[in-house]
Amino acid sequence: MSKCYHCGDDCNITAIVFDDKNFCCNGCKTVYEIFQSNDLTYYYDLQSGAGTTPLAIEGKYDFLTSNTIAERLIEFDDGTVQIVNLFIPDIHCSSCIWVLENLKKLHPGITNSQVDFPKKTVRVTFKGELVSLKELVILLARIGYEPYISLEDYDKGKSKIDRSLLYKLGIAGFAFGNIMFLSFPEYFEVGGFWLDQYKGLFRWLMFAFSLPVVFYAGSDYLISAYKGLRSGLLNIDVPIALGILVLFTRSSFEIFFDLGSGFFDSLTGLIFFLLVGRFFQQKTYSFLSFERDYKSYFPIAVTRLGKKKKEETVQIYAIKSGDRLLIRNEELIPVDGILLTEKAHIDYSFVTGESEPVEKISGDKVFAGGRQCNGAIEIETLKSVSQSYLTQLWSNSVFQKDKSTAFQTLTDSIGKRFTIAVLTIAIIAASFWMFQDSSKVLNVFTAVLIIACPCAIALAAPFTLGNMLRIYGRKKFYLKDSSVIEQLALIDTAIFDKTGTITTTQSSSISYEGMELSVEEESLLKNTLRASNHPLSRSLYALLKEHNIETLDDYKEYTGKGVQGVKDKSDVKVGSADFVGHQQLSDYNSTSVHVSTNDSYKGCFVFHNNYREGVSEVFKEMGRHMDLAVISGDNTGEKTRLEKLLPKLTPLYFNQKPTDKLEFISELQANDKKVLMVGDGLNDAGALAQSNVGLAISENINVFSPACDGILDATKFKYLNNYILASKKAMKIIKLCFVLSLMYNVVGLYFAVTGQLEPVIAAILMPLSSISIVAFATLATNVIGKKLK
Amino acid sequence: MSVIYLLLTISIVVALVFFAAFIISVRSGQYDDSYTPSVRMLFEDEVVKNTTIEPNTKIKKSTQLNKKQKL
């Protein structure tokens, strides 16, 4: 089978040949034509089959003509030139970068465009008179790069990028290098005439260099320690801040009174290494967002039908209850409402993870968050956006809490004991010298605090966890930040959502129950289904064996009921139980399609959720070291199948509302459980936020997932237990690092307590311990990473 | 030996120049996206529009290397 020249998908029998190339659909062909006529075919040379099929967009972006909405999206506007930053989830390869940066070839109104690949955004500079924002967006959509514009873009102000860490790192590195260079002559105490002559100058220069390091680059540590002390916490920043302050005051003191060269080299080195650790830990997946709420799913505006059916674009927040809205094909329903059109197929996969569209008929309630997938519908709203069933969830206080601040990391809990130990040693040593040689008391006391500064301890966690985060990322397991790894290692209870989490949305399996169909009947059935566009018909059609294409004598589609086909005097009815004339058993909960031929009932096709590969194994392995449960918003239809699949006695909860899930988790936490929640849809958002670690399973990383602590690619679900075990190993590495760094501290303390601490010893010991810890942590985590699948 | 003052001044001035260059480059956003420029530089230079020859057949051979490169 030939591959589509544009998107690389398999072309079906219906391949369109154009310019000696195969295309799978007209959309792809059109994009090719656009590229070809604008001299952009280099796109296909960079990478073959790179394109994306453009979707129908008619009317979708009408809201961009509204000035108030466009103004919020445009970043810069001086009347003639405008700049807009658009998020395009489809950016995935070098061809994408190339074609998007050559947008100016497609329209004279576009002056410049620049892609940020990691963030999947394109910043377009265009002339407002020649091309409007709407035209620009439609142009992008037509070439297969449809921008994603959501309510979130409308709400957020102009975001500022925080680059302070880079500045701090730059300053610390700069000062560290220069101070090393200036303090070098004094390390060897060669004591020559020239050295003595310039010593003062060198020292004052070092002092000057150290000022911005202590008061700007190191300010975070001082502030954090101060905050910690005020709230009665001895975090790891307390001994660090103590070390920094003691180093700085003693060194300044030595210089002022010409007693020695001070420890400026160690001081700046310490802060530089700490900042490097912080920088390394700060691995972010900028194309993923872990903070999403319903706003990133919802559109900015919808079409309201005013008096006399006049269509007008209205901002989502301006919708009042009682408004009539027009929801086009593939549009999201933004508020709860009542369906006015005869029927609708609503896909709630955003909300529940269930991919099979639900059929609704006129008068039914439809809930916000569903996607209409069968033509345009009209609804009458019942509530405003923020009061809808789904969006109400976000008024729960759990969404205001910041999880990471409440969690005490291993490093911080060590910090307390460490600070107490160091202060005790310093006081004992000082009081010992009080009796021996009182001139050395202050020297020894400060030396202990300097040498015991837990630089290596503070570096162990950032490097171990930072590297782990990268390893996980390569395995398609994306975590929000490194503290999630620590939390993951402590998990003792895991709760799974069912639909979309342990079941796959990609395919459902169908089983047939009833009398066997003859070959003729099956052929007739298949030919009848061919004509139907109902999603269940499509799935069933794909499952049935190949039969010759025959023309039906008669074909009728009964909306909301089923289809009927007639051929050579035999007829077949497919659809709901009532439609085919069958009394449905009341306890039957699964989705099923019934079949009858010549008015005699044959049987039904039952649609089952397909469970992900390795679900039983994951449950079995995880069940060994933690409690498990499945919590689902669905009915009990799948109960028996789940019980067979999962280890015996795994608790299963059905018919759980989003808030029930949240409360379930918080109850467990009240019993001192550390809970891992694995979910996927927006209805899990509350539970994901409440749990200690909330993981979202995603079939496609670029598609949106709810706010969570980590996103796991669905294909890696079977390795979930391995990832949890790896996090435990990572914590062991950190503990080993602590032991290693304490050994360095013991050596250093020997010099400090005996009053022999020279600047050169501190200058050697500090980087040596830091670098060996960093090397050990990186190597050990890489070993773990190698074993990980 | 006052030349040492001169040397010292020069060395610090040179260091400061590089430091300033770093600050300016951070400020202008050069470190915000450290990936895309690495791809951008591999693109072929624009072939000046030539009406008679199909440009894509010309480029094809030279880009064989990049072609397979999946990102």
Our CA-based measurement puts residue A48 at a distance from the nearest CA of chain B, in whole angstroms, of 7
- The pLDDT of residue A649 is above 90: no
Q: By the CB < 8 Å criterion, does B28 face chain A?
A: no
Counted residue by residue, chain A has a size of 789
| Cα–Cα distance for residue pair A558/A576, rounded to 1 Å | 10
Task: Compute the mean pLDDT over every residue in chain A, rounded to the nearest whole number.
Answer: 82
Interval A351-367 mean pLDDT? 77
Our CA-based measurement puts residue B69 at a distance from the nearest CA of chain A, in whole angstroms, of 7
The strand pair at A81-87 and A110-116 is best described as unpaired
Interval A507-521 mean pLDDT? 76
Q: By the CB < 8 Å criterion, does B57 face chain A?
A: no
Over residues A600-648, the pLDDT tens digits come to: 888 888 777 778 888 888 888 888 888 899 988 777 777 888 888 888 8
- The pLDDT of residue A25 is above 90: no
CA nearest to A117 within chain B: B36
Return the SS3 of A482. Answer: coil
Q: In this predicted structure, which of A473-477, A604-608, B39-43 has the lowest mean pLDDT?
A: A604-608
Over residues A755-764, the pLDDT tens digits come to: 787 777 887 8
Picking from A35, A38, A45 by the largest number of B CB atoms within 10 A of its own CB, the best residue to mutate is A45
Over residues A228-286, the pLDDT tens digits come to: 889 887 888 888 898 899 999 999 998 888 888 888 988 999 999 999 988 888 766 66
Tell me whether residues A94 and B31 touch, CB distance under 8 A.
Answer: no
A766 pLDDT band, cuts 50/70/90, is: confident
Residue A752 in tokens: 């400090």
CA nearest to A287 within chain B: B33
Who among A48, A94, A194 is closest to B39 (CB)? A94
- The pLDDT of residue A463 is above 60: yes
Interval A281-298 mean pLDDT? 72
Our CA-based measurement puts residue B56 at a distance from the nearest CA of chain A, in whole angstroms, of 6
CA nearest to B61 within chain A: A45
| End-to-end CA gap in chain A | 33
Q: Which residues in chain A have their CB less than 8 angstroms from residue B4's CB?
A: 194, 198
List, in order of start, the domains of chain A with CATH numbers.
1-53 (2.30.170), 62-155 (3.30.70.100), 164-283+411-463+729-787 (no CATH), 469-504+612-728 (3.40.50.1000), 506-611 (3.40.1110.10)
Who among B5, B23, B66 is closest to A46 (CB)? B66
Would you say A88 and A121 are in contact if contact means Cβ atoms under 8 Å apart?
A: yes
- The pLDDT of residue B69 is above 70: no
CA nearest to B13 within chain A: A178
**Structure confidence at residue A708 (pLDDT):** 84
Our CA-based measurement puts residue B63 at a distance from the nearest CA of chain A, in whole angstroms, of 7
CA dihedral A730, A736, A741, A745 (to 10 degrees): 150
**Structure confidence at residue A213 (pLDDT):** 94
**Structure confidence at residue A753 (pLDDT):** 84
Q: By the CB < 8 Å criterion, does B61 face chain A?
A: no
| Cα–Cα distance for residue pair B39/B71, rounded to 1 Å | 9
Q: What is the DSSP letter of A437?
A: -
Q: By the CB < 8 Å criterion, does B20 face chain A?
A: no
CB atoms within 10 A of CB A123: 16
Over residues A175-187, the pLDDT tens digits come to: 999 998 888 877 7
Q: Where are the beta strands (DSSP E) in A576-671?
A: 591-597, 600-611, 627-631, 652-653
**Interface contacts (A, B; CB < 8 Å):** 82
| Cα–Cα distance for residue pair A82/A67, rounded to 1 Å | 13
Picking from B14, B33, B57 by the largest number of A CB atoms within 10 A of its own CB, the best residue to mutate is B33
Q: Which residues in chain A have their CB less than 8 angstroms from residue B11's CB?
A: 181
Tell me whether residues A198 and B4 touch, CB distance under 8 A.
Answer: yes
Q: Which of A295-299, A461-465, A636-640 has the highest mean pLDDT?
A: A461-465
| Cα–Cα distance for residue pair A54/A191, rounded to 1 Å | 77
Picking from A41, A98, A117 by the largest number of B CB atoms within 10 A of its own CB, the best residue to mutate is A117
Residue A596 in tokens: 């009858």
Q: Where are the alpha helices (DSSP H) in A710-755?
A: 720-753
Residue A470 in tokens: 């990268």
Of residues B47 and A236, which shows the higher confidence score? A236
Q: In this predicted structure, which of A48-52, A90-94, A517-521 has the lowest mean pLDDT?
A: A48-52
Interval A767-782 mean pLDDT? 90
Q: Where are the beta strands (DSSP E) in A576-656?
A: 591-597, 600-611, 627-631, 652-653
What residues pair up with A242 in beta bridges, in sequence order?
A: none
- The pLDDT of residue B56 is above 50: no
Our CA-based measurement puts residue A478 at a distance from the nearest CA of chain B, in whole angstroms, of 18
Q: By the CB < 8 Å criterion, does B60 face chain A?
A: yes
ipTM reported for the complex, 2 dp: 0.71
- The pLDDT of residue A169 is above 90: yes
Over residues A108-162, the pLDDT tens digits come to: 888 888 888 888 888 899 888 888 888 888 888 888 888 888 777 776 655 667 7
Who among A47, A117, A178 is closest to B67 (CB)? A47
Amino acid at A189: E
What residues pair up with A87 in beta bridges, in sequence order?
A: A121
| Cα–Cα distance for residue pair A634/A655, rounded to 1 Å | 5
**Structure confidence at residue A733 (pLDDT):** 93
Overall pTM > 0.80: no
Over residues A685-730, the pLDDT tens digits come to: 888 888 889 998 887 766 667 778 888 888 888 899 999 999 999 9
**A129: phi then psi, degrees, rounded to nearest 5:** -70, -30
- The pLDDT of residue A573 is above 50: yes
Counting beta carbons within 10 angstroms of the beta carbon of residue A351, is it exposed (0 to 12), middle (13 to 18) or buried (19 or more)?
buried
**Structure confidence at residue A209 (pLDDT):** 93
Over residues A367-405, the pLDDT tens digits come to: 888 888 777 888 888 888 777 777 777 777 777 666 666
Q: Which residues in chain A have their CB less than 8 angstroms from residue B44's CB?
A: 42
- The pLDDT of residue B57 is above 50: no
Our CA-based measurement puts residue A596 at a distance from the nearest CA of chain B, in whole angstroms, of 51
- The pLDDT of residue A586 is above 50: no
**Structure confidence at residue A308 (pLDDT):** 72
Our CA-based measurement puts residue A42 at a distance from the nearest CA of chain B, in whole angstroms, of 6
Our CA-based measurement puts residue B7 at a distance from the nearest CA of chain A, in whole angstroms, of 12
| Cα–Cα distance for residue pair A139/A157, rounded to 1 Å | 26
Tell me whether residues B8 and A94 touch, CB distance under 8 A.
Answer: no
Q: Which of A192-196, A536-540, A595-599 has the highest mean pLDDT?
A: A595-599
Q: Which residues in chain B have their CB less than 8 angstroms from residue A181's CB?
A: 11
Tell me whether residues B15 and A167 touch, CB distance under 8 A.
Answer: no
Q: By the CB < 8 Å criterion, does B55 face chain A?
A: yes
Tell me whether residues B67 and A41 touch, CB distance under 8 A.
Answer: no
A590 pLDDT band, cuts 50/70/90, is: low
Our CA-based measurement puts residue A118 at a distance from the nearest CA of chain B, in whole angstroms, of 7
The upper half-sphere exposure of residue A280, i.e. CA atoms within 13 Å in the direction of its Cβ, equals 20
Crossing angle for the helix pair A410-436 and A441-451, nearest 10 degrees?
160
Who among A45, A98, A116 is closest to B67 (CB)? A45
Q: By the CB < 8 Å criterion, does B12 face chain A?
A: yes
CA nearest to A286 within chain B: B33
